[in-house]
Each structure stands twice: as C-alpha cells, then as structure tokens.
C-alpha cells in the first residue's frame, strides 16, 4: 500500500477523517472483496498524484464495523468523500480518472 494512504480504524476515524483540514476519500473495503483489490490500485495512483490536496484512507469493514454501520455501508467497495467532517460525495468503485472527476469539485 502507498505510504500516502492511511489505515483507518473505528478509534482513529474522527482524528484522521472528521477533523482533517483536507478533504478525505475513505475506501470502505474488506480482505475477501475482489473488486476492493482492483480499486486499491486506482487509489494508490490517485494518492500519489493528489497527496497535496487530498487525503486517502482505507477502513476495513470487517475489523471496524461501528464506523461502517454509522455511515450506512451496505456494499463494498464504497468510497465516501469527507470535507469539513461531512460526507459530500458517495462513489461506487470505478477507475482513478472517474473518481477524480467525481471529487474534483470538492478539492
């Protein structure tokens, strides 16, 4: 995993995401999820390109159920973009370019 991508947990979510000064794109994923592995590569590319303006984090839904439930994650991979502590965009897995198009207005 790229060093530009943070590992998120129920316990660090507020500090890393809600209180972040930058927009944060959170990838809700699980180890057993095939499409999650594909989107992980796209997120690594995005993290490397946009590290100055965007923070990216991954939250394993199996290990961090409280946060997944709080944000209504019912299928994975699901990406939520947070800005100023609020969800501003929900994205279902897609390519890096499509993700960037979806979130560019919030950066």
Catalytic residues: 33, 36
Nearest-10 crossing angle of helices 34-50, 96-103? 60
- Say if residues 39 and 90 touch (Cβ distance below 8 Å): no
Distance CA 16, CA 85 (A): 10
User: For 10-26, b where at least 16 C-beta lie within 10 A, e where not — what string?
Assistant: eeebeebbeebeebbbb
Distance CA 74, CA 97 (A): 24
């Amino acid at each position: 995993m790229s060093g530009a991508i943070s590992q998120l947990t129920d316990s660090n979510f507020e500090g890393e995401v809600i209180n972040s000064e930058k927009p944060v794109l959170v990838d809700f994923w699980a180890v057993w999820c095939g499409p999650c592995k594909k989107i992980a590569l796209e997120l690594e590319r995005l993290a490397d390109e946009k590290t100055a303006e965007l923070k990216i984090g991954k939250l394993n839904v199996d290990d961090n159920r409280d946060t997944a439930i709080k944000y209504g994650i019912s299928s994975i991979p699901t990406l939520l973009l947070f800005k100023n502590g609020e969800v501003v965009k929900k994205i279902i897995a897609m390519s890096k370019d499509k993700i960037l198009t979806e979130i560019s207005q919030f950066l």
